[in-house]
Amino acid sequence: MLGISKVSLRKNTRPVSRVNVKNGNRKLSAKLLDYLESKYQLLPEDMLSLRVVSSKGSLGNLPACFIRVYDQAMSASNGIHIGTYNDLDQRPNLILYSGYILENDFVYITKYGTNIVYHTL
């Protein structure tokens, strides 16, 4: 471990658990850090360069915030700037995780390209 705590990762991050989140490149919120750590056993140092882009929409009749998580260091090393959710449409190989957050703070995230589940709420 590199001596990096979740507290330091969360410092200066904005929550993305609201549906009215603006589309754009951000650090992961505490809620997403906790989710990825518990579901995918990621260590805090593994999440340092992860960023999230989001887009408002709906899932059925429910407002939702669709998210994509990517590695900013990997995109930067390839000279690729990701600023919006749609920027990753042309670079799906950079997407590590994708999913959504509902207005009631229900979070669903899966590794991109695996375990794709279609379900209704």
pLDDT per residue as tens, the chain (121 positions): 344 444 444 433 333 333 333 345 677 778 788 888 888 888 888 888 889 999 999 988 889 999 999 999 899 998 999 999 999 998 998 999 999 988 887 888 889 865 444 433 3
Report the side by side order of strands in the sheet with 62-71: 26-27, 50-59, 62-71, 95-102, 107-111
Parse the chain into domains and list their residue ranges. Answer: 22-111
**Quick one: tokens of 97?**
């995780």
Q: Taking a C-beta distance cutoff of 8 angstroms, is the pair 109, 69 a contact?
A: yes
How far is the C-alpha of 65 from the C-alpha of 50, rounded, in Å? Answer: 18
Is the Cβ–Cβ distance between 9 and 42 less than 8 Å? no
What does the alpha-carbon distance between residue 28 and residue 41 come to, in Å, rounded to a whole number? 16
Contacts of 47 (CB under 8 A, 6+ apart): 9, 28, 33, 36, 37
Looking at residue 95, what is its pLDDT?
A: 93
Q: What pLDDT does residue 24 have?
A: 53
pLDDT score of 33 = 82
Predicted confidence at residue 25, as pLDDT, reads 65
